[in-house]
Copies of this chain bind each other. A is one copy, B any other.
Amino acid sequence: MKSERPTESVARIASMNASNDTPRHDPTRKRLLQAALEIFADKGFRDATVREICARAEVDVASVNYHFGSKEALYSEVLGFAYREASERYPYTKAGDKSLPPEVRLRHFIGNLLGRMLDDTYLGRHGKLLARELADPTPTGALDQVIETTMKPHCELLDGIVAELVGPGYSEADMHRLGLSVVGQCLMYYHSRSLIDRVYPEIIATPEDIERTAEHIARFSIAALKHLHLEKPAPHRAG
């Protein structure tokens, strides 16, 4: 038996999205968003409980239903919020600045992306939440919107940089594979952190190590892109 309240809350969320984040003074809601971001990033959607989020936000468990309508709707809201905040903390303006050489732009892109994954301050949670959602999308359907509105433009930005570095003569699919080869090197530092911490803990142990890693990824990628034409595809393999 659903009361009328969730419908009202859902409508409120819809108007929030449509108005592109109208400023609101609503301390409870803000506290919930912040607490949820921390706990969802840490534990994922399934393991995070409404009770734990509300305890951290110091509000009553019914508040999630009142302000957001459901745990899922809260998660969707948090995901969008996370992406917007990560973009502020790690902006892509230099990567998008076409007056800079493509090598420099690529370095900025990689530094930003890796920073989001590995920043252990409170803002690193945004990147972590996104990486987690990519690896195991929640049934909320929130990922589709985030990909369309924000991640896709970043993929296109990277495709442009890659195209300048590698030169002409590659299919569209291969151009995409090139971009993914760059991005994959960064994302694995989140997705395979458990392996890295056990096998090679020294390489991202400190902020300096992280910077060295970003520089290494940039160097590896630039070397690959500039010299790809020298490596011929291998002959087709049987079976």
Contacts and interface: CB of A to CB of B under 8 A. Distances in A.
Interface stretch (A24-32, A73-81, A199-207): A199-207
A221 B225 CA distance: 10
A180 B191 CA distance: 12
Contacts of A222: 231
Interface residues of A, number: 65
B231 A199 contact: no
Interface string A183-216: 1111111011011101110110000010111011
A181 interface: yes
Interface string A116-132: 00000000000000011
Q: Is the interface of A mostly helix, strand, loop or mixed?
A: helix
B227 A226 contact: yes
B134 A191 contact: yes
A147 interface: yes
Interface of A: 44, 46-47, 103, 107, 111, 131-137, 143-144, 147, 151-152, 155, 173-174, 176-178, 180-181, 183-189, 191-192, 194-196, 198-200, 202-203, 209, 211-213, 215-224, 226-228, 230-231, 233-234, 237
26 contacts: A44-B136, A46-B47, A103-B234, A107-B234, A132-B135, A132-B136, A135-B136, A135-B192, A137-B194, A144-B198, A147-B198, A173-B212, A176-B199, A176-B200, A176-B202, A177-B213, A177-B216, A177-B220, A178-B216, A180-B189, A181-B185, A184-B184, A184-B187, A220-B224, A220-B228, A223-B231
Given A152-B199, A188-B188, 11 more contacts: A135-B192, A136-B136, A144-B198, A155-B199, A180-B200, A180-B203, A184-B187, A184-B192, A191-B192, A219-B231, A223-B230
